[in-house]
Amino acid sequence: MRITAGALGALFLATAAMAQPAALPSADEIVQKNLAARGGQAALAALTSLTLDGKLVFPGGFELTYHEVRSGGAVRVEATLQGLTLVQAYDGKGGGWRINPFEGRKDAEKMGDDEARSLADAATIPGVLLSARADGASVSLLGREDFDGTDCYKLKVIQKDGDEFIYLIDPDSMLEVKIVETRKLRGAVQVSETELGDYEAVAGVMFPMSVESGPQGASQRQRTIITKAAANAAAPPALFAQPAK
C-alpha cells in the first residue's frame, strides 16, 4: 500500500489535533453553566426564602439540632442541645449578632464587622459565586484541579473587601463540590474549607444537603446534614433583627 505525502500530512495534522488538550471554557461560561445546573435564574428569583432543618455533627459524634432561615440577604442559624439554643444571625443591613447560652450568655450580642461579613456571605440564597458579579466581585478561572479523582474547574472569586473564595466545580454536574475561603477575622487571616454533596432540588433550585467544613488542613471537621428543606415560608424581618435587651 502506497501512502502519499498528502496523506501523511493529513494524518499528522489529525494526530496533532487529537493531542491538543480541549480548550477550557471561560470563567463566565462556567458560571452560566453552574447557574443552569443550580436551576436557572428564574427559579432562583422565585425563591424568596429558604428554610433548612437537620443536624450539626461535630467530631466524635457530638450532635445538635440545626435550623437555618435565609431571606432577602438575611440569615438566622440556630443550633440546639438539651434545651439550649445558640443563635447567630445577620439582619441583611450590615448587622450581625449572636446569643450563646453555652458560654453563659442569655442576651444578644453584636458581632464584629468581620464576623458579620462572613455571615452575610452565608445569607445569600444563590451563594457567593452566583452573586459575585452583582456584588462587584471579580471571578477568574485558575484552570483545573483534582478533587477525589475528578478534574474540576477551579474558579477564584475576590470580593471588594479582599476576601477570596476558591470554587471547585464538577465538570459533569457543574455544581460546586468544594470551597476554600480566605478572609480576615479580627486581624488574622483564616482559611477554611467546605465540601458539598448530596444535592437536592428545593423549589427547582439545587442545594447541598451535606456540608463538611473546618479550618484548612484540619483532620476532623463539623458536618451539617439537612433532612428537610422548604421554600418561601414566612420570614419576617423581625426574625433576623437583634433583640433588645
Domain ranges of the chain: 23-239
| Three-state DSSP state, 219 | coil
**CB of 143 within 8 A of CB of 24?**
yes
Taking the alpha carbons at both ends of the chain, their separation in whole angstroms is 93
Q: pTM value?
A: 0.88
The bridge status of strand 62-71 relative to strand 150-158 is: unpaired
Q: What is the CATH number of domain 23-239?
A: 2.50.20.10
Share of the chain above pLDDT 70, in %: 91
Least confident among 67-81, 103-117, 140-154 = 103-117
pLDDT at 10: 53
pLDDT tens, residue by residue, 86-108: 999 999 999 999 999 998 888 99
pLDDT at 2: 53
The bridge status of strand 150-158 relative to strand 138-147 is: antiparallel
Residue 233 in this model has a pLDDT that exceeds 70: yes
The residues, any chain, with a CB within 8 Å of residue 235's CB and separated by 6 or more, are 48, 49, 51, 69, 70, 71, 72, 74
The sign of the torsion formed by the CA atoms of 121, 126, 132, 135 equals negative
Least confident among 6-10, 40-44, 56-60, 241-245 = 6-10
Cell 464584629 -> residue = 112
Q: With 0-12 CB in 10 A as exposed, 13-18 as middle and 19+ as buried, what is 225?
A: middle
pLDDT at 1: 46
Q: With 0-12 CB in 10 A as exposed, 13-18 as middle and 19+ as buried, what is 162?
A: exposed
Cα 104 from Cα 26, distance rounded (Å): 51
Cα 154 from Cα 138, distance rounded (Å): 14
pLDDT at 187: 78
Cα 10 from Cα 13, distance rounded (Å): 5
Cα 8 from Cα 157, distance rounded (Å): 47
Residue 8 in this model has a pLDDT that exceeds 70: no
